[in-house]
Structure 1
Amino acid sequence: MALLIMLGCAREMPPPGARPDEIPPSIVRIRPAPDSTVVDFDGALEIRFSEPVRIPNGIAREMFVSPMETYESEVGFADLRLRPEDGWRDSVAYCYTIPTDGINDLLRNGMEVPVEFCFSTGAGIQETSVEGEVIDILTGQPLEEARVIFWAGPDSVPYGAISDSIGRFVARGLPPGEYEAFGFVDRNRNMIPDRELESHDSASVAASADTPAELRFVLVAPDTTPPVLARGLVVGSETVQLEFDDYLLNPQPEEPGITIRDSATNEALEIVASLIGSADEVVFPLDSAALADSIAAADSAAVADSAAVGDSTAAADSAVVEAPSPDSAGSAASDSVTEEDPILPSRFITVRLATVIDSGTYRVSVTGAVNVRRLTGGGDTSFVAEPEPPSADSAAVGDSAAVEGDSVAVEQDTVPPAPDSLDVPGTPPDTLGVPPDTVRRRAPRGAGRARSPGLRAKRRRE
């Protein structure tokens, strides 16, 4: 009994010495056959694999079927059978996409490529094709497993497709005609776009056997409120950044109306330009007025230098020095951005002013701002411009002046005083500059010789 239990719990492994199975499963039979027509079909769609497979529960939801249907599934040892809950429709072409992930063999080797096929329950399979891509509007990146559905009217059959790993989709077999198409992220997996809950986009398209159609869906999250100005922030001496509670279209259909006033004087500040994006992302074109001032300043400086040197030729040459034009500067800036870079929405508008912002409180008003759902809004708010702290250069200059003053005082303190030994009578010339106490302790030579006989007599008595 114990041996039987151990064998029952053993893992499925290849025989000893055999190479592990690395071959993924494949589909060896489909009934009804691909591209076939079966009138009054009432059986189950059968898909047989090349080896035993693991098929997860809910595989019918993982597969994509056009027309959009809800399926009952039955899983066998190496096969899968599908049937619509409401039965097969008459004279309709059914197209299937079996995904690569989810279906594995017993050693977890997955299918390598998706399998697509169609069959018809009466009408011929149309040679129509609608292709396209699905991307996220906020990131500009392709969306995988996004659904696309095609409706020709309220009571029409819903056809569809699903996007691959690079956001591409292909819908085949649509009856020729006009359709309203929806691209969406099917988060609740009910296979219909819930426009109040799921990111989606829509477009109109004509399916025709003569001309393939191309669509591009840019999915946007649902939104029913216009954008509102949240705050303003000074991000430079001449730059203000306006933040909204929603993402704005980039570029805007029309330039929003922006007014910035000094709250103390009610004077409106002159705005040079405004761009969608945060201040670290946008690049303003050169201002023509500022460019003219800089050219004039450069010319006058060059003329002054040439006059100081005395070279009249240099002065003449400086008059014809040309600065780059605004157009060339703008073209250089545009060249730095590759065509592949997507233009993404942003919650910011960056405003460049004509003059430096003084410290104080300012009132800003915005109208005509359009969000990614094309709702128009704006709003009012206030911001404060703080006074700029003293620059490091000016502080360094002040410190250096103080150091220089201190050094002068130190130099004055180090001047030696006049020696007191000059006032001591009888001091030899070589004692000049010796401290006064040293000079006073040295006795005159004459006094020493007068006492010497007495000292010698004392020594003899001792």
Structure 2
Amino acid sequence: MAVLIMLGCAREMPPPGARPDEVPPSIVRIRPAPDSTVVDFDGALEIRFSEPVRIPNGLAREMFVSPMETYEAQTGFADLRLRPEDGWRDSVAYCFTIPTDGINDLLRNGMEEPVEFCFSTGGEIPDTSVEGEIIDALTGQPLEEARVIFWAGTDSIPYGAISDSVGRFTARGLPSGEYQAFGFVDRNRNMIPDRELESYDSASVAASPETPTELRFVVVAPDTTPPLLARALVVGNETVQLEFDDYLLNPQPEAPGIAIRDSATNETLEIVGSLIGSADEVTFPLDSAALADSVAAADSAAVADSAAVGDSAAVEAPSPDSAGAAVSDSTGEEDPVLPSRFITVRLAAALDSGTYRVSVTGVVNLRRLAGGGDTTFVAEPEPPSGDSAAAADTAAVDSAAAVADSTAVEGDSVAVEQDSVPPAPETLDLPGVPPDTAGAPPDTVGAPPDTVAVPPDTVGAPPDTARRRT
């Protein structure tokens, strides 16, 4: 019994003295053979590995097979068998992609690269290829393990592909013809795009051996309602930010209609520009010009300062495009254009205090549904800016410092006046007064402490003196 327990707890390790196995497993045999044609095939696809492997449960869902069907998987010591639940179709090209994740040998060495192959149950394998990428519309980032499905009609065979770690996919073996393609995030793992639940994008595509096709899917969450204006917010003297309940296309297919009116006078305000994005993300052309001017002014000031250092210092004149270069350096690489729930509006003049009404028409969301709406906002006088408050604080500090300095000056002047009084002469020649009695020395100004009062022993006469008086 003890031996059985020890064997049950033993770990899989190489023999003592042997070098650790660092060679990943590989596929040594596939039957039916890749690129072969097997008519009336009714067996299982067999994949044999170079060594014993661990094959995770649910591999049939992780791997990709086109046509997109449900497959049964059986695992052995070093092999894998696959078979469609409903059997193999006649005269169809089957293409497989065996992933690298999950298939490891006993020392957890994983496969290095995916393995792709096709075989046919009748007829030649079509030499077609449809490639592309799948990205997230909100983040602009590629999506891994997103699926693509191709339908030629209602009762057609669903072919497909799956995206890799950089969002790229390749669909091979599609019969020539027209297809409706869907790129989607298969959250429920049923290999069918659920357009009411899952993010997806669609496109029409033609598969042909002569012309390789490139697709780009930008998947978006499902939505059946148009965008609605939620609120407006004053974010500057001349800037208003509009917020919607949905993400908007960026850029818009057509410029949306935006009108802002003074509720008191019904006067329409002049709008000089509007951009998709929140106020802290967008830059209007006038702001860019002001930035370039400020950079150019800074460059000129720097050149003037360097020239003032000395004639011996070599001063290099700025190049004509130095301002533009500085601006480009400050902005860095351009970020991808992303959708936003905001539109920032720039007015021709500063807003006065009061209530305003804004109306928007023709804004388009990511599902290309047009909407708009109207709402009101209130413009209030802005409190003093931080610069004004800082200036006031500086003035107060300067005033206090000035008072302190003037006080110090007055004190110093008093001290100077006191110092300017000539010292008293050591002797005064007054008639009848000895020279040394003209002024009492400092120690004779007051009586010594012991002469202020009669010594305690003289307060009363001694007893014997009183008797003599009697």
TM-score range, shorter chain: 0.7 to 0.9
Change (3 A) 1:444 1:17: same
Q: Which residue of 2 aligns with 1:20?
A: 20
CA distance in 2, matches of 1:113, 1:241: 50
Q: Which runs of 4+ in 1 moved over 6 A?
A: 328-340, 412-415, 431-434
Q: 2:247 corresponds to which letter in structure 1?
A: Y
Counting only pairs closer than 5 Å after superposition, residues 93-112 of structure 1 correspond to structure 2 as 93-112=93-112
1:354 aligns with 2:348: yes
1:160 paired with 2:176, answer: no
**How big is the shift at 1:242?**
1.9
Report what 1:279 is aligned to: 279
Residue 267 of structure 1, CA deviation: 3.2
Contact 1:240 1:352 in 2 (8 A): yes
Q: CA RMSD in A?
A: 3.5
Match of 2:430 among 427, 436, 445: 445
The answer for unaligned runs of 5 or more in structure 1 is: 299-323, 420-430, 453-462
**Residue in 2 that maps onto 1:373:** 367
* Cα contact 2:273–2:346 (8 A) shared by 1: yes
Work out the CA distance in 2 between the residues paired with 1:193 and 1:353: 45
Against the structure 1 CA distance between its residues 411 and 335, is the aligned structure 2 distance closer, same or farther, given a 3 Å change threshold? closer
Q: Show the 5 A alignment for 1:151-300.
A: 151-286=151-286
8 Å CA contact 1:144, 1:164 repeated in 2: yes
Give CA deviations for 1:310-356 in whole Å, capped at 9, x if unaligned. Answer: xxxxxxxxxxxxxx9xxx99999789878874211111111222223
| Aligned sequence identity (%) | 76
TM-score w.r.t. length of structure 2: 0.77
Structure-2 change in CA distance of 1:443 and 1:74 (3 Å) = same
Equivalent-residue separation in structure 2 for 1:87 and 1:404 (angstroms): 97
**Which consecutive residues of structure 2, in runs of 5 or more, have no partner in the other structure?**
298-319, 438-470
Give the corresponding residue for 2:466. Answer: none
| Residues 1:229 and 1:433: Cα distance change in structure 2 (over 3 Å) | farther
Deviations 1:36-75 (A, max 9, x none): 1111111111111111111111111111111111111111
Pair 1:388-2:383 in alignment: yes
Please say if residues 286 and 330 of structure 1, whose CA atoms lie closer than 8 Å, have aligned partners that are also in contact. no
Partners of 1:173 and 1:34 lie apart in 2 by: 13
Contact 1:285–1:330 under 8 Å retained in 2: no
CA contact (8 A) 1:232 1:383 kept: no
TM-score by length of structure 1 reads 0.78
Residues 38 and 120, structure 1, Cα contact 8 Å, conserved in 2: yes
Matched letter for residue 35 of structure 1: D
Q: CA deviation at 1:405?
A: 6.2
CA change 1:175–1:272 in 2 (3 A) is: same
Q: 1:6 deviation in Å? A: 0.6
Among 336, 339, 345, which residue is 1:342 paired with?
336
What do residues 278-304 of structure 1 show as CA deviations (whole Å, max 9, x unaligned)? Answer: 22221211289x98xx9xxx9xxxxxx
Give the drift of 1:241: 2.0
1:400 shift after superposition: 3.4
Is the contact between residue 101 and residue 111 of structure 1 (CA under 8 Å) also seen in structure 2? yes
Q: Structure 1 416/38 Cα, relative in aligned 2: closer, same or farther at 3 Å?
A: closer
State the alpha-carbon separation in 2 of the partners of residues 245 and 347 from structure 1: 7
In the aligned structure 2, how far is the partner of 1:21 from the partner of 1:275? Answer: 59
Displacement of 1:412 in angstroms is 6.6
8 Å CA contact 1:230, 1:243 repeated in 2: yes
Shift of 1:129: 1.0
Which letter does structure 2 place at the counterpart of 1:377?
G
Contact 1:129 1:171 in 2 (8 A): yes
Report how far residue 153 of structure 1 moved: 0.4
